[in-house]
Chain A
């Protein structure tokens, strides 16, 4: 309206050539430009008189030439204006602000954008499709999904032929959780499309996934991938495979994704973790390493890679990795747990306890942290504390045999024979594979003069050991075998059979023991605390060499640490699977803590 007024004000129409001739000072520039515009208007009017083939540039050519000419022929155009009683009323195109709205929208300047949209809608009485559309998008970003849905509906009424509006309606329905309606809307949009669209099929696939129609979802996502390769589609497809417990297919999906996104740290991490889940540590480590080259602060990859380094006794390297992670996630319980176990591996027990206690503070109901706390305290000969942490762990996870075994060891030292025996029984029944449980129980029984029970257990130990070798192909910890052999020898009866089977391993074990002098050296101080020594010896006097065997419980602890390290990696993996889904795992833990503290 203003523009119209302005043009009419500049009523004295001067031909453009005159203006150019009489150019004197800058302050006249304004008027000049107005004049020129006014005279331009005439050109348009003349030009518009040839509507027969408006899109044809050939027809346009002479026309614009004429325009140029008319501009340079002042009297003609002036006469024309006078001869016409009124000008063609200039109608502002409804779409003239669309570019501005769009530009502000993509720059996330929503306040400016909303202001513009409001003006635009006022001017067009709500009929501007694009303004409504962007308004809908902004409302969606602000979380007002229902309102945005209504706006997209309005857009659809204004322009029923546009697929984009239907797609946005479907998206709003999806965000509102009305997946079935969303699917219908998407299918409707698909009918209107002349060529396949990646976005549509991807979203359709995700809708089907939420409707638990995995078959349909997979089909749609694969189809979407045919149209265009997008990271989201790969991730959704892999998620469906994981929901169906089809890890190999999920891995293949991620491998395909990595071909297209070779530098995407997220994909590498997820793939690495999946490999870890199925126990393929070599490729897992490679992918996690790739992640860390592209994104050295990726905490998921750091934790996973660190736990793998830990299981290879590479504690210092793991610690340097964790240091990076501690910058970004200082409140992660698995991180502090893993750091603690690194210190434990390096025999820095006090630091280990500090870190574990922090982890426990951050996640008081995590049984693995409690278990590790029990283990470290057991190593520190703080049997009472160990007992408390272990019994807490047992309460949280009553199905884990290893906790019962450690509990039994603690109880042995606390002179509670009855309970220790029960704990061992429980451990042996719950943990059906690990030979060390049986060995510990056998030693316990022997020390408590139950030779028959000890024999039964040593046989069980042997059976389990053979199974273990067959299943994993690897051998047990040398100390476990050595101590098993010693015990068998002491028990005498079945010793020969045991010896034969494990003789070659024993030889190897001895070699290894020579290579690794650290372990034997470290043991004596740990199992000879002055006050206890007397007691133990007196208790075991009747058994020759029993004094040597009892510390076995200790020597198994390192073996136990190995198992534990495995558990840690498990821990890291499982918790991080959680993180992958949603962050809120952490805050809820925190609130729990607060509740506890209060």
Chain B
């Protein structure tokens, strides 16, 4: 396998039971002992059992319970104290929980949003009992029509969800004494160095919220340094630069657009429009790399000009930037739904890692004392740690190139000696062959035509196309024998005129078969309706042979039948067994 050449599997725990995303993983030296730890915010079951887990090497070092689903985990330096150990920030719901030395330190609450004044008044009046429950419901309902579901506070939304009067009253009683507030939720989180670019310099937090805002937080005072707005909800963030000098935040949003925010701007500038939802966003050097839901990997420059676009062999689950400093290379790893991780250098595929399950999250960086480590969390919860070999190189030419197809030979069917012989024979006797063939062809046509005429003359065809009585007949034989059931379906195919005085007659060799009802009168046949006539036919012959049964359709006292069907009877099973 190709991955064995470049990657060592340092750790593999298929039972780690992790449920996480790339954004919920971080690698950092949390204790200042030179050994980087892996921090994973585990979403647990998706409803409870959320944990903040820290791995030291291959061992789980500590676990902290989280009360809500974590959206993202980042490590950052929030002060200048020695030793330089980073704090861990866990974004979850409307809060950012800050941990120092893996102990809870501070909780930041997102600023509340502006409450609709009409809504505020309504609740105020309800508290003062100027409004009763049903009136409040009506006011809020009409307000929802106006501003939409998401324009209301959570309390109004929940109030509107109450199905009956009693529960609405209870809800009002329970909540009316409290201040009305409208909160939002963090959707993505990142860091931005404040004034120095060193690795251990103080960083600000950058938050994207469900209210389509981006906030930059001061790390020391936890005040909002800058608040910017976007046209849609941010999903992925990529931040570069320094807050005090110049910075650039690239945001992929839920409307499938990429926006750029710079120092001094308040509103995101549309940079690139994607035709599908982004699955991951990476910024390296001066290019933005985005994987989209329609199996493409796009590359844009900072201005939004498309540099290249490649089609991927499958759906992308996550994207990770591999910055291999020893090789001064920046690669992009893509986890695909077909249990592979593809590693691209620009638009060239340079490596593939096969895993036994889909990779749900990836993080590359320094882990333990090893610089180039790729941590993979599998869909089934497994944890895999792979170390890049120091001898590994990612040269473009060592991939399987396009020239591969050229070597393959064309699969041309071989011709046998017989073919050659026949060719020679044809060359020698072509005129004769042609004449014989033409002659036989004429005879075949003649005999076909004769049979056709004969069939028409004796009405022995099962479909009558005559103008007066257009009829269609089909017959079925049911049963295993010796008694069979003959089922004849008659249909009048004329557009309007009904058929009268029709009868079905069965005719067979009476030494072989005896027919129960050899004459069946057919009632008036309405056009289009299928009429079924059935009779039993018993095989009376001891010889175990089968014969044919003729079915005639006659009209009145005419001497010639309208239709004829010839039924080849099967051999009775009794005789077959004997």
A296 to B64, CA, bound (A): 53
Q: Does A61 sit at the interface, judged by CB under 8 A? A: yes
Task: Identify which of B77-85, B108-116, B518-526, B539-547 touches chain A.
Answer: B108-116
Contact between B410 and A319, CB atoms less than 8 A apart: yes
The B contact surface, by secondary structure, is mixed
Q: Does B1 sit at the interface, judged by CB under 8 A? A: no
Task: Identify which of A172-180, A409-417, A543-551 touches chain B.
Answer: A409-417
Q: Does B275 sit at the interface, judged by CB under 8 A? A: yes
Contact between B426 and A382, CB atoms less than 8 A apart: yes
Q: Does B160 sit at the interface, judged by CB under 8 A? A: yes
* A414 with B431, Cβ < 8 A, contacts A99-B235, A127-B160 known: yes
Name B216's closest neighbour in chain A (CB-CB): A57
Q: Does B254 sit at the interface, judged by CB under 8 A? A: yes
In the assembled complex, the CB of A1 is this many whole angstroms from the nearest CB of chain B, namely: 10
Name A266's closest neighbour in chain B (CB-CB): B311
Q: Does A579 sit at the interface, judged by CB under 8 A? A: no
Q: Does B412 sit at the interface, judged by CB under 8 A? A: yes
Q: Does A518 sit at the interface, judged by CB under 8 A? A: no
Residues of chain B with a CB closer than 8 A to A33's CB: 64-67, 104
Q: Does B195 sit at the interface, judged by CB under 8 A? A: no
Over the window 141-181 of chain B, the binary record of Cβ atoms lying under 8 Å from chain A Cβ atoms (1 yes, 0 no) is: 00011111111001101101101000000000011001111
Residues of chain B with a CB closer than 8 A to A158's CB: 144, 148-149
Residues of chain B with a CB closer than 8 A to A93's CB: 93-94, 154, 183-185, 210
Contact between B293 and A108, CB atoms less than 8 A apart: yes
Chain A 41-97 residues near chain B, CB threshold 8 A:
43-44, 47-49, 51, 54-55, 57, 60-61, 64-65, 67-68, 71, 88-89, 91-97
Q: Does B448 sit at the interface, judged by CB under 8 A? A: no
Task: Identify which of A142-150, A351-359, A495-503 touches chain B.
Answer: A351-359
Contact among B105, B179, B210, B223 with A48 in the assembled complex (CB-CB below 8 Å):
B179
Contact among B68, B185, B224, B318 with A95 in the assembled complex (CB-CB below 8 Å):
B185
Name A36's closest neighbour in chain B (CB-CB): B104
Q: Does B260 sit at the interface, judged by CB under 8 A? A: no
Q: Does A162 sit at the interface, judged by CB under 8 A? A: yes
Contact between B408 and A99, CB atoms less than 8 A apart: no
* A416 with B434, Cβ < 8 A, contacts A51-B180, A330-B411, A355-B412 known: yes
A326 to B277, CA, bound (A): 35
Q: Does B329 sit at the interface, judged by CB under 8 A? A: no
Contact among B68, B151, B154, B405 with A323 in the assembled complex (CB-CB below 8 Å):
B405
Residues of chain A with a CB closer than 8 A to B107's CB: 36-37, 40, 43-44
Residues of chain A with a CB closer than 8 A to B186's CB: 99
Contact between A357 and B430, CB atoms less than 8 A apart: no
A399 to B481, CA, bound (A): 57
Contact among A36, A49, A296, A358 with B179 in the assembled complex (CB-CB below 8 Å):
A49
* A198 with B181, Cβ < 8 A, contacts A33-B65, A61-B221, A159-B148 known: no
Q: Does A594 sit at the interface, judged by CB under 8 A? A: no
Chain B 228-258 residues near chain A, CB threshold 8 A:
233, 235, 254-255
Name A531's closest neighbour in chain B (CB-CB): B428
Q: Residue among B102, B160, B255, B427 with the most chain A CB within 10 A?
A: B427
Name B181's closest neighbour in chain A (CB-CB): A48
Q: Size of chain B's interface in residues, with CB distance under 8 A?
A: 108
A64 to B102, CA, bound (A): 22
Contact between A99 and B275, CB atoms less than 8 A apart: no
Q: Does B337 sit at the interface, judged by CB under 8 A? A: yes
Task: Identify which of A24-32, A245-253, A456-464 touches chain B.
Answer: A24-32
* A57 with B306, Cβ < 8 A, contacts A34-B65, A99-B71 known: no
The A contact surface, by secondary structure, is helix
Contact between A198 and B273, CB atoms less than 8 A apart: yes
Q: Does A478 sit at the interface, judged by CB under 8 A? A: no
In the assembled complex, the CB of B94 is this many whole angstroms from the nearest CB of chain A, namely: 7
Contact between B104 and A108, CB atoms less than 8 A apart: no
Residues of chain A with a CB closer than 8 A to B71's CB: 99
Contact between B221 and A99, CB atoms less than 8 A apart: no
A414 to B69, CA, bound (A): 86
Name B145's closest neighbour in chain A (CB-CB): A160
Q: Does A504 sit at the interface, judged by CB under 8 A? A: no
Contact among A108, A260, A319, A323 with B408 in the assembled complex (CB-CB below 8 Å):
A323
Residues of chain A with a CB closer than 8 A to B210's CB: 93, 95-96, 98-99
A164 to B233, CA, bound (A): 13
In the assembled complex, the CB of A335 is this many whole angstroms from the nearest CB of chain B, namely: 10
Q: Does B575 sit at the interface, judged by CB under 8 A? A: no
Over the window 527-558 of chain A, the binary record of Cβ atoms lying under 8 Å from chain B Cβ atoms (1 yes, 0 no) is: 00101000000000000000000000000000
Contact between A230 and B67, CB atoms less than 8 A apart: no
Q: Does B556 sit at the interface, judged by CB under 8 A? A: no
A91 to B315, CA, bound (A): 37
Contact between A64 and B412, CB atoms less than 8 A apart: no
Q: Which residues of B contact A (CB under 8 A)?
A: 21, 43, 46-48, 62-69, 71, 93-95, 97, 102-109, 111-115, 144-151, 154-155, 157-158, 160-161, 163, 174-175, 178-188, 210, 221-225, 227, 233, 235, 254-255, 273, 275, 277-279, 293, 306, 308-309, 315-318, 337, 402-403, 405-406, 408-415, 419-420, 423, 426-428, 430-431, 433-435, 437
A-B contact pairs, 22 of them (CB 8 A): A26-B62, A30-B63, A40-B107, A44-B109, A48-B112, A54-B181, A57-B111, A57-B224, A61-B221, A106-B278, A160-B146, A161-B147, A164-B255, A296-B405, A323-B405, A323-B408, A382-B427, A382-B430, A383-B430, A387-B434, A413-B430, A414-B435
The 4 closest A-B pairs by CB, nearest first: A159-B148, A36-B104, A40-B107, A57-B224
Given contact pairs A55-B227, A127-B160, A323-B409, enumerate 7 new A-B contacts (beta carbons under 8 Å).
A6-B67, A71-B106, A96-B69, A98-B233, A108-B293, A109-B317, A339-B410
